[in-house]
Amino acid sequence: MNTQFIIDYLMALNMNNNREWYHANKEDYKKANAEFEGFLQALMLEIGKFDSSILHNNPKDLTFKLVRDTRFSHDKSPYNPAFRAHISSQGKLPVPVGYYLMIKPGNQSFLGGGLFADMFKDATTMIRDYIARNGEEWEKIIHEPEFVKYFTVQGTALKKVPAGYEKEHPQAEYLKFKSWYLEYPIKDEELKDAEAFLAKGAELFRIMKPFNDYLNKALVGFQMPTR
């Protein structure tokens, strides 16, 4: 696992974010991508020690493309210089929630989990309803000392508790949320030692698992919208 090659390639792409450079250096992309997939495979084996539901995945099916959708963006650079993957029992779909990894030089890398997408209204409602009914379990998970050491729950939120929920509910602040996710930042220096980064990633995902499990219990029966 040569994470240094991944970093070097992404830094070069960031400096030369155009189609001509990308195609002229396609072999370097292929090598960097293979290194990333190799890292994912090793990471999945470590995650599998505490969550076997993800072991059937092929790393190739968990990654996201570098190509950006620039139609509605002021930034017209064609590529996102980052390798990204989402590991769950159903692959890279946002539901069920799983373990998210982004390697992006410039100290923009992070490990994440939970529901990042807030456009699925049914998913938001299901989680709100579950928190409203199972608040004590939620509080126990997010205040676990090991969890608090690394994570705080983030997400887009409304200004007020939405209609249909008690304004004075003990978890009122979390009922305002439309998404519930975790992010742990990774510095560039931490990426260079692949074995140490692998061990740290697996450990953080282990700590994150009860949070993901809680959301996935809330999301049982959720159907991804069809286009």
What is the mean pLDDT for each group of 10 consecutive residues in the chain (227 residues)? 94 97 98 98 98 97 92 85 97 96 97 94 97 98 98 97 96 98 97 96 98 98 86
- Please state, in angstroms and as integers, the Cα–Cα distance from residue 205 to each residue in 23, 57, 70, 213, following that order: 35, 17, 32, 12
Q: What is the pTM of this model?
A: 0.94
Contact 95, 120 (CB under 8 A): yes
Q: What angle do CA 64, 108, 154 make, to 5 degrees?
A: 85
Domain boundaries, the chain: 3-218
Strand order in the sheet with 180-186: 83-87, 99-103, 109-115, 180-186
pLDDT for the residue 69:
83
- The angle formed by the CA atoms of residues 159, 210 and 84, to the nearest 5 degrees, is 75
What is the structure's pLDDT at 114?
98
Give CA–CA dist 225/114, Å, rounded.
19
What is the rounded distance in angstroms from the CA atom of residue 24 to the CA atom of residue 9? 13
Q: Which two tokens stand for residue 121?
A: 């209204």
Q: What is the longest distance spanned by two Cα atoms in the chain?
A: 60
Of 170, 162, 117, residue with least CA distance to 142: 170
Strands (E), 4-98: 83-87
Of 189, 163, 179, residue with least CA distance to 215: 179
First-to-last C-alpha distance (Å) of the chain: 38
pLDDT digits (tens, 9 = 90+) for 115-130: 998 889 999 999 999 9
Contacts of 69 (CB under 8 A, 6+ apart): none
Calpha distance 132→166 (Å, rounded): 9
Enter the tokens of residue 80.
Answer: 């996102």
